[in-house]
A and B are shown apart, each in its own frame.
Chain A
Amino acid sequence: MIRQVLYSLFKKPATNLYPAQKLEMPKGYRGKLVFYPEKCIGCKMCMKDCPTGAITINKIAEKKFEAVIDLGKCIYCAQCVDSCIKKALEVTKDVTLAQLDDKKLKVVFGSDSENNRTEKQAP
């Protein structure tokens, strides 16, 4: 007990100075999704299995698909990643997703030019 008290007295604060110092997320953390349009074949298995209906795959041209992900609806379960046979979806460790404007929570992943992965806010 006394040892604990002395130890706690001299040790650094356990808290992080957040914006300056960011915690490293554990390996395998399920954060924001990324979508690789060039791999997607449009089978829509991800849409079917998503528990919250957060992901929508739209056909934008022949053999070209875009993914609209509602970050506010997504529960970051990564079921869509498991369901995708083409590995067109992946999780990242990105956790700083808070927005004041709920429109910004809708993110569109699509390809503007050939095989170029782009990410933009939904209009």
Chain B
Amino acid sequence: MHNSDKFKIPVGPQHPALKEPESFSLALKGEKIMGVDIRLGYNHRGIEKACEERTYIQDIYLIERICGICSHSHSTCFIQAVEEIAGVSVPKRALYIRTLIAELERIHSHLLWLGVAGHEIGFDTLLMYSWRDREIVMDILALLTGNRVNYGINTIGGVRRDISEEEKQEILKGINILEERTKYYIEVATEETTIIKRLSGVGVLNYDDTLRLDAVGPTARASGVQRDVRKDDPYAAYSEMDFNVITDNHGDVYGRTVVRVKELMESYQIVRQCIKNMPDGPIVVKVPRKIPAGEALSRYEAPRGEDVHYVKSNGTEKPERVKVRAPTLANIQAVKHMLKDRYLADMPIVVAAIDPCFSCTDRLIAVKNSNNKNNHTMTWEALHAYSIAWYKARGIDFAGLNKNLKKRLEGS
């Protein structure tokens, strides 16, 4: 793809325009982007493997830390899968609380995105405004769960904290203020000429390409694709909620902005319904520590799009396999398409428009040469031995290091 008459510039893995390490290699002709190479894998944390070493209860907290913004999304998605295998029916009230926290999280994530998008196009007033308002929802989340992020509200079989009447009133108060402010943002997004001019026609993804590239979440909905797990495959208490799936036909960054601000309004409605219709009853049922053998796939509409978790259990306290597909992984191919033939200056906002979360998405990339006859699969032990030998050949002896470390730990 890259030949000599094109200028190649690397953006990332460390770059001021990116908040997370990811590498984009842009082939430019003048100001025009001719091709993009995206390389994932700079922030791979091995969470899926680590989950296999821990019990289900410990995994909740680990899974929750996949993402700082949509922590509730990941933990709910994981727990749904575990609950499905174990065959527990979660109390209604717990489902309502999960839905409530999920929507509050969506509000905070979309407001955060609005600020970031404003910042990327040099509209910092919008950043100041929306992040100021985001504090309201962060305070509500802190009030309900104890923390601003990583709420820790989920547990297998229900939720860990109940919601009182006063807290409900606090939520409603906050939501009313936010609704007023959001109306203003909708006005800004649909009438402010600078925003419309800057975002229209940037990062276009049409309907067919969206389906072909499998984009999810607001990115897909902005191209007119009616896709929302909350409606298509309702989980938690969404089957009892009355809300609209917001779509838009612009297919560009402007469309994604409109979809997100309008989704905020829907989220306020869902929060109100949750509070109004919240049934009484227990918030958690007891689930045995050992989960019977089985497997389950769980879907969840995170603020950035569909999140998928797969869990396989083997009858012990620890899962045999956990697989996570964060929404950004589904959207990243679309970015490549969106950037093609655009100008370099559009790159930050186009990347920001999918609301990327690279750390959640990152995975190990193994480059496999299919022509090589020596290709073979390595067992875990062989790989371990190989890595020790590899380092030993370079003068680093891990065997000794491990012993030293152990000695030091025991000594202290």
Contact = CB atoms under 8 A, between A and B. Distances in A.
A83 B161 CA distance: 14
A23 to B, nearest CB: 11
A77 B62 CA distance: 11
B145 A49 contact: no
Interface string B136-171: 000100111111001010010000110000000000
B161 A75 contact: no
B143 A27 contact: yes
A51 B143 contact: no
Contact of A51 (B58, B144, B145, B412): B58
B161 A28 contact: yes
B147 A51 contact: no
Interface string B92-104: 0000000000000
Interface in A6-64: 26-30, 48-51
B57 interface: yes
A75 B61 contact: yes
B184 to A, nearest CB: 10
A103 B147 contact: no
Nearest to A83: B57
B173 interface: no
Contact of A26 (B58, B61, B143, B412): B143
Contact of B61 (A27, A28, A29, A77): A77
A112 interface: no
Interface size class, chain A: 10 to 19
A76 B61 CA distance: 10
A83 B284 CA distance: 14
Nearest to A76: B147
Interface in B394-412: 412
Contacts of B59: 51
A26 B142 contact: yes
- Which of A26, A30, A83, A103 gathers most chain B CB within 10 Å? A26
A79 B147 CA distance: 14
A30 B64 CA distance: 16
Nearest to B160: A82
A30 B61 contact: no
Contact of A28 (B55, B145, B412): B145
B49 interface: no
B61 A79 contact: yes
A55 to B, nearest CB: 12
Contacts of B412: 103
A79 B160 CA distance: 9
A50 B58 contact: yes
Interface in B280-317: none
Contact of A77 (B55, B143, B144, B152): B152
A65 B96 CA distance: 40
Interface residues of B, number: 23
Contacts of B58: 49-51, 79
Contact of B57 (A28, A30, A78, A79): A79
A26 B146 contact: yes
A49 B55 contact: yes
Contacts of B139: 26
Given A51-B62, A103-B412, A29 B160 contact: no
Contacts of A26: 139, 142-143, 146
A79 B150 CA distance: 13
Contacts of A48: 55
A48 B58 CA distance: 9
B54 interface: yes
B54 A28 contact: no
Contacts of A30: 146-147, 152
Given A27-B143, A28-B145, A28-B146, A51 B54 contact: yes
Nearest to A8: B128
B55 A29 contact: no
A76 B152 CA distance: 10
Contacts of B57: 49, 51, 79, 83
Nearest to A27: B143
Interface in B25-66: 54-55, 57-62, 65
A30 B142 CA distance: 10
A30 B54 CA distance: 22
- Which of B55, B57, B146, B152 gathers most chain A CB within 10 Å? B146
Interface of B: 54-55, 57-62, 65, 129, 139, 142-147, 150, 152, 155, 160-161, 412
4 closest cross-chain pairs (CB), A and B: A51-B58, A28-B146, A51-B61, A26-B142
Given A49-B58, A51-B59, A51-B62, 6 more contacts: A28-B144, A28-B145, A30-B152, A48-B55, A51-B60, A75-B61
16 contacts: A26-B139, A26-B142, A27-B143, A27-B146, A28-B143, A28-B145, A48-B55, A51-B54, A51-B59, A51-B62, A75-B61, A77-B61, A77-B150, A79-B61, A82-B155, A83-B57
